[in-house]
C-alpha cells in the first residue's frame, strides 16, 4: 500500500484529501529544514500526524526532503 492510500485509510478520507495532508506535512518539514531546525523527532511527528507508521520516516526523508539521497552510493 502506498503512502497516500495508507493515509487515506487511517484518516477515513479520499485520496485527494490524503495527498493534501501529506503535502502540508512535507511543506512544514521543508520549512523547518530551510530554517536549519529540522530534527529527527519532527519526522516521527509528521508520521504520527498523518496516522502512518514510523517506518515511513525514511520515505519522507529520502523521497520528499532529500530526493538526491536516493542516488547516493556509499
DSSP annotation string for 32-73: HHHTT---HHHHHHHHHHHT--GGGHHHIIIIII-GGGGG--
Q: pLDDT value at position 62?
A: 83
The verdict on residue 54 lying in a domain is yes
The verdict on residue 74 lying in a domain is no
The verdict on residue 57 lying in a domain is yes
pLDDT tens sequence across 59-68: 888 877 776 5
The verdict on residue 31 lying in a domain is yes
Q: pLDDT value at position 67?
A: 65
The verdict on residue 27 lying in a domain is yes
Is the per-residue pLDDT at 70 higher than 70?
no
Give the mean model confidence (pLDDT) for residues 32-50.
Answer: 93
- Structural domain for 17, as ranges: 3-69
Q: Give the number of domains in the chain.
A: 1
What's the whole-model pTM score?
0.82
Give the mean model confidence (pLDDT) for residues 43-68.
Answer: 87
Amino acid at each position: 500500500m502506498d503512502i497516500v492510500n495508507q493515509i487515506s485509510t487511517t484518516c477515513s478520507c479520499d485520496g485527494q484529501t490524503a495527498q493534501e495532508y501529506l503535502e502540508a506535512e512535507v511543506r512544514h518539514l521543508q520549512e523547518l529544514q530551510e530554517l536549519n531546525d529540522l530534527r529527527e523527532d519532527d519526522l516521527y511527528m509528521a508520521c504520527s500526524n498523518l496516522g502512518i507508521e514510523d517506518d515511513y520516516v525514511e520515505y519522507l526523508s529520502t523521497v520528499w526532503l532529500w530526493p538526491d539521497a536516493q542516488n547516493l552510493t556509499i
